[in-house]
Amino acid sequence: MRHSMMIDLEKCVGCMACVSSCKQRWGTGPGAARDWVHTFEHGTRGKDLSLTFYPGLCMQCEQHPCTLDCPTGATFVNAQGVVVVDPDVCIGCGNCISGCAYGARHADPVKKIVEKCNLCEPYVARGQEPACVATCLAQCRVFGDLDDPTGELSQQIRERDARPLKSAEVDIGPKVTYAGAFQRERILAAGVLTPPKRSALTRIWEDGSRPFARYLVPSFVGGVFASGVFINLLARRQRMKHPQEPAVETGPGIAAPSTAAAPLLRHRAGMRLLHWFNALSWILLLATGTALMSAKSFALFGEGFPRWLASFFGGAAPLLRFHAVWGLLWALVIVPLFLLYKQGGREALEEIRLRSGDLRWLLLKPLAMLGLAKQPLPPQDKYNAGQKIFAVTAIVGTSTIIATGLVMIFHLGSPPLVAAAILVHKLAIAFAMLGLSVHLMMAVILREERAALRSMIVGTIDRHHALAHNARWVEEHDKQSKPGSHP
């Protein structure tokens, strides 16, 4: 089944009844239209003056380049062969508009989404005609199924020699046809066709951002985890050579660890719960966000995963709603509770403040992991220099992701701003994944660092490990624990 329409240009009188009925049915406001009637004048003031009316709409093209440039897959071809826009999935970026050769798409400034003619598919499904067909005073429109050779549409196309508006330069398989060869040639001569263009967002994404996200990020992540395995093997070999040698990273002046000391409280229960809620949210939002980029030009790893996950949620619209609701929940939980647990952010700023010796630690730590360091590492705070840098990037990345997510969810700003938000949102996630991979490698893969991961589960950390890796923090902790001291 391929729904389409034939328009007889010899009958059209330019009354605009089709435009009026379409606006009324679909609630299209001033300055926006799903269809139109353009007037072209020919001749002079003399007797040869004539008018040609061009009743236009979406041509329901077979190639439909507009669907390739819709990041969320809101524009698609339904079972009736009609190119439609799902208003529940469209985020109003306007990226598809430049892909239409006929100018049949517009960004509605009130609804904040892109609209176009869909041949009144919801009404046709209930047995009604498209609004423009039902109200055409000249009865110049015929609607039907192109795949029905005995139907009125197919018969009228044959009898009237109706043909689509296309040229040698622009031919994307339009299914809407026009009868009236003389008028048809005049309309084409007026330059109503423009070659489809890739938008700036599509060009940037396809030429740079997607290769970065698809190849460089996974390669970096894989390299990081492979490095972790390699470092573990080196450490195991070192332990076999020197089984009694303690792995202490402290410098001179730090007391040796006590074998019987009680563990230290490193993370309060609230921060631990917040951390794991954040981790769960990242997994869910990353998976659903990747699936929402479902169009061919934007899908990171092909269109199979987006289709599968959308079907699991019951469609693209429920998937988008889940992503948006969970993203809002994540932001509403993470931000206020983080500020609450970190004394309005003051404690966090103090914990991630770079101090003397941190830069030197960053330079020596990779050598130490490879067994090449000739001197002990500088003593560190509760979080080492690497964790501090990761925390800063996580805060900046999270803020960027939340801000751009709000722009997309609530259609804030003009279509170019929403399109820019898509790009920044995805790049922020990609860069965050780079830092997260190092964070996971250090916490999960490296054997000597796993005590820090356990502390995020149980709250406490072994004093021996803390002295080896966070000696400056232990020293401050001991000072504050003395009677009469103030935190």
Packing angle between helix 269-292 and helix 415-440, nearest 10 degrees?
A: 130
Encoded tokens for 85:
């826009």
pTM for the full predicted model: 0.83
pLDDT, tens digit, for every residue of 289-320?
A: 989 988 888 888 888 999 999 999 999 999 99
- Beta strands 177-179 and 3-8: pairing type? parallel
| CATH number of the domain to which 7 belongs | 3.30.70.20
Which amino acid is it at 191? Answer: G
Residue 329 inside a domain? The answer is no
Do 60 and 129 fall within a single domain? Answer: yes
Rounded Cα distance between 215 and 209, Å, is 10
Residue 293 inside a domain? The answer is no
Residue ending a domain, among 189, 217, 233, is: 189
Do 166 and 245 fall within a single domain? Answer: no
**Stretch 165-175: mean pLDDT:** 97
Number of H helices, E strands in the chain: 18, 11
Do 368 and 249 fall within a single domain? Answer: yes
**Stretch 323-337: mean pLDDT:** 94
Residue ending a domain, among 156, 189, 222, is: 189
Beta bridge partners of 52: 40
Do 173 and 217 fall within a single domain? Answer: no
| CATH number of the domain to which 204 belongs | 1.20.950.20
Do 117 and 19 fall within a single domain? Answer: yes
Residue ending a domain, among 137, 159, 189, is: 189
Residue 449 inside a domain? The answer is yes
Residue 283 inside a domain? The answer is no
Structural domain count, the chain: 2
Do 91 and 226 fall within a single domain? Answer: no
Do 94 and 235 fall within a single domain? Answer: no
The answer to whether the beta carbons of residues 295 and 366 sit under 8 Å apart is: no
Residue 221 inside a domain? The answer is yes
Do 26 and 46 fall within a single domain? Answer: yes
Write out the residue range of the structural domain in which residue 385 sits: 200-266+352-481
Which sign, positive or negative, has the C-alpha torsion 446, 447, 452, 457?
Answer: positive
Residue 289 inside a domain? The answer is no
Do 384 and 454 fall within a single domain? Answer: yes
pLDDT, tens digit, for every residue of 232-268?
A: 888 888 778 776 555 445 444 444 444 457 899 999 9
In 10 A of CB 75, how many CB atoms? 26
* 96 closest CA partner among 138, 127, 65: 65
Do 162 and 234 fall within a single domain? Answer: no
Least reliable range by pLDDT among 13-17, 47-51, 250-254, 344-348: 250-254
Furthest-apart CA pair in the chain: how many Å? Answer: 110
Encoded tokens for 263:
């563990």
Do 173 and 252 fall within a single domain? Answer: no
**Stretch 101-122: mean pLDDT:** 96
**Stretch 27-56: mean pLDDT:** 90
Do 205 and 56 fall within a single domain? Answer: no
